[in-house]
Amino acid sequence: MKRLAEIRSQEFLCRERAALDSERRLFWLARAEEWEQRALDEIAYHFRECNLDLTELAAA
């Protein structure tokens, strides 16, 4: 979950830059969206791993 915190931090920084840099606002918002998707992917991966562990325990 440390990785998720790092990803969310990058997303926040991009959104902050978008607020401060009106000329490149759309660029920074697009980057923030990319980081947001990475965060969602990381969450999905984490839950898949947890479910695999539970399946292995149930099979044992």
Judge contact between 4 and 39, C-beta under 8 A: yes
What domain range includes position 41? Answer: 2-59
**Buried-state track 21-51, b at ≥16 Cβ within 10 A, e below 16:** eeeeeeebeebbeebbebbeebeeeeeeeee
pLDDT tens per residue, range 1-60: 799 999 999 999 999 999 999 999 999 999 999 999 999 999 999 888 888 766 666 666
Greatest Cα-to-Cα distance within the chain, rounded to the nearest angstrom:
58
The predicted pLDDT at position 6 comes to 97
The number of distinct structural domains making up the chain is: 1
Question: pLDDT value at position 58?
Answer: 66
pLDDT at 52: 74
User: Looking at residue 40, what is its pLDDT?
Assistant: 97
Return the structure tokens found at 22.
Answer: 């009106």
pLDDT of residue 11: 98
